[in-house]
Amino acid sequence: MGDEAETRPQRNFYGRIHGKTLRPSQRRYLAEDLPHYRLRGVTAAENPTRALLDLSVLPGTGPVWLEVGFGGGEHLLHMARVHPEVRLIGCEPFVNGVAMLLGRLRQAPLANVAIHPGDVRDLLDVLPPACLQKVFLLYPDPWPKARHHRRRFVTPEYLDPLARACAPGAEFRIATDIPDYARQTLEEVSRAGFEPVSRGTEPWADWITTRYEAKALREGRSPCYLTFRRTGSAT
């Protein structure tokens, strides 16, 4: 696992990691609150041998869910509140988004949320096999230029380790407003060991709208909601 992490091509599926200058309150959230929510043992600095995480450190004993790129955290917080029995890990490399989520958590704390403020590949390297029961990838960076399509999340570089971390039957939800991203998703995710379950223009029953969805609708783009299920059977 360590050799794989060292030799993989470093093509990020996300763009910038810093946005507007953080407000003093946001800097305070990062300094004071992030240590409470941050999932430890993910980075190479903390875990140089890339030992698998012990997920029993997460509060509770329920199923583990993952949101890849939670933006400002609207959907992640909604799911954590609607499903208090689950343990929800959110990954987000964009510092401003992490600060926004922490601000919301300060207003309404949740015990079933853990945060990795960085590249999801580092987390996938150390997640135990077949530990995830549900994964969300919502409005990822579309990388619209053809020469950048290999930077999309829905490529083997990301999907193969994600598939290893998903339990048989795990649900993988993807939302995008870019038709070509949906096309590539249908091709690549199925090859990675997930079977398509549904594809449509209506969101899931427990969905909450996000700023990215609202922007897509304002600009006349139609969102596509895709659901996949990890193939295989429990042993």
Choosing from 54, 119, 141, 206, which is the catalytic residue?
A: 141
User: How far, in Å, CA of 161 to CA of 158, rounded?
Assistant: 6
Which pair of tokens denotes residue 18? Answer: 């810093």
Residue 206 among the catalytic residues: no
Q: What is the pLDDT of residue 13?
A: 47
pLDDT at 212: 81
Determine the average pLDDT of the residues in 33-56. Answer: 94
Can you tell me the distance from the alpha carbon of 98 to that of 233, in angstroms, rounded to the nearest whole number?
A: 36
> What's residue 149's pLDDT?
57
Question: How does pLDDT run across 57-96, given as a tens digit for each residue?
Answer: 898 889 999 999 998 899 999 999 999 999 999 999 989 9
Which of the pair, 216 or 167, is modelled with greater confidence? Answer: 167
Q: Which domains, and CATH codes, for the chain?
A: 2-6+24-230 (3.40.50.150)
Return d(Cα 235, Cα 149) in angstroms, integer: 36
pLDDT confidence band for 18 (50 / 70 / 90): low
Nearest to 121 by CA among 151, 88, 86, 77: 151
Decide: 53 and 116 in contact? Cβ < 8 Å.
Answer: no
pTM beyond cutoff 0.75:
yes
**What is the chain's Cα-based Rg?**
17
Convert the pLDDT of each residue in 195-226 to its tens digit. 999 999 999 999 998 888 888 888 888 999 99
Distance CA 233, CA 226 (A): 22
